[in-house]
């Protein structure tokens, strides 16, 4: 690990960390560039433990010792910067002390991810990074064996997703479905039933479904507002709903994922 003092926010070596508040730019450039940003020592630790490879780290002076311990086995430049430089580069106050530019791992196939999985969370068309991160945290904490994300789903490795998940995006095996029909075919070929969480007159209440849940099941969750797409609903073996009271018809998608995972895992 090489410590490099940088005193100017204009230094080109900090370009990976620049203007992270521009969501559209980062969402477009990170996948193509093969990089993502891990924020905070805890998240960096979980990423490294999962076998992900850092390209560089930007850290404030008071956090250097903690980062040194995490990267003892990695030959990576660590850019040590004053607080004001970190804020000028990123566009926000970096309270968590460190950001790491990480190489994106090659994602496995759907068949590989679900080979030994009995409970899967499938996120379809969820565009909000916060909801994706929260759903991953629910998956990690409530017993999901794997997470699948649809072609139109937000990036689990986007900085906000990783932060909200508390680094659990590195804990739960996951991959992206490249084409919906192919992914569904892979799930059915593995003997996995698809349960769509949606509002429908003929939907099965969650508690009844949980009592007789399939041995292997993927719980499909859709976006806020629109819910699951017609394509996703058409591919479902069962439609399941969470009974609600108080004039409320549904939960936030991450909350719904947590409730559904808790019910079927028990």
* Average of per-residue pLDDT across 5-19: 92
pLDDT score at 14: 94
Higher per-residue confidence, 138 vs 224: 138
pLDDT at 68 over 50: yes
Confidence of residue 31 (pLDDT cuts 50, 70, 90): low
Per residue in 137-147, pLDDT (tens digit) is 999 999 999 99
Q: pLDDT above 90 covers what percent of the chain?
A: 67
pLDDT digits (tens, 9 = 90+) for 167-192: 999 999 999 999 999 999 999 999 99
Are 222 and 253 in contact by the 8 Å Cβ rule? The answer is yes
Q: What is the mean pLDDT of residues 95-112?
A: 89
Asked whether the predicted pLDDT for residue 42 surpasses 50, the reply is yes
* pLDDT tens for each residue of 199-223: 888 899 999 999 999 999 999 999 8
pLDDT at res. 141:
96
Question: pLDDT averaged over the chain?
Answer: 90
Q: pLDDT-derived band of residue 23, with 50, 70 and 90 as boundaries?
A: low
**Separation of alpha carbons 46 and 1, rounded Å:** 18
Distance of alpha carbon 82 from alpha carbon 6, whole angstroms: 8
Share of the chain above pLDDT 70, in %: 94
pLDDT of residue 25: 44
Strand bridging mode 54-60 / 119-123: unpaired
CA 258 to CA 219: how far, in whole Å? Answer: 11
Q: Does residue 93 surpass a pLDDT of 80? A: no
Per-residue pLDDT, 139: 97
* CA pair distance 158, 174, nearest whole angstrom: 14
Mean pLDDT (whole number) for 57-80: 89
- For 184, residues 6+ apart whose C-beta sits below 8 A from its C-beta are 194, 235
At residue 32, the pLDDT reads 55
- Full-model pTM: 0.87
| Residue in this structure with the two tokens 């992206």, named with its chain if needed | 176
pLDDT at res. 40 = 87
């Amino acid at each position: 690990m090489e410590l490099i003092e940088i005193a100017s926010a204009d230094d080109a070596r900090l370009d990976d960390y620049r203007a992270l508040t521009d969501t559209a730019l980062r969402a477009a450039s990170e996948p193509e560039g093969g990089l993502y940003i891990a924020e905070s020592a805890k998240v960096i630790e979980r990423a490294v433990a999962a076998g992900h490879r850092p390209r560089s780290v930007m850290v404030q002076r008071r956090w250097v010792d903690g980062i040194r311990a995490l990267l003892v086995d990695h030959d990576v430049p660590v850019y040590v910067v004053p607080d004001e430089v970190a804020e000028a580069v990123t566009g926000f106050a970096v309270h968590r002390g460190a950001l790491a530019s990480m190489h994106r791992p090659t994602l496995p196939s759907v068949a590989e991810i679900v080979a030994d999985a009995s409970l899967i969370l499938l996120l379809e068309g969820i565009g909000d990074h916060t909801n994706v991160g929260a759903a991953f945290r629910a998956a990690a904490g409530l017993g999901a064996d794997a997470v699948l994300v649809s072609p139109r789903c937000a990036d689990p490795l986007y900085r906000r997703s990783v932060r909200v998940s508390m680094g659990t995006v590195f804990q739960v095996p996951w991959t992206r479905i490249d084409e919906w029909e192919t992914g569904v075919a892979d799930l059915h070929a593995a003997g996995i039933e698809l349960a769509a969480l949606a509002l429908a007159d003929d939907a099965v209440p969650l508690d009844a479904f949980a009592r007789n849940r399939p041995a292997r099941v993927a719980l499909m969750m859709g976006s806020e507002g629109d819910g699951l797409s017609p394509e996703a609903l058409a591919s479902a073996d069962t439609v399941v709903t969470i009974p609600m009271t108080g004039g409320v018809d549904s939960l936030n998608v991450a909350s719904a994922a947590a409730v559904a995972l808790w019910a079927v895992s028990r």
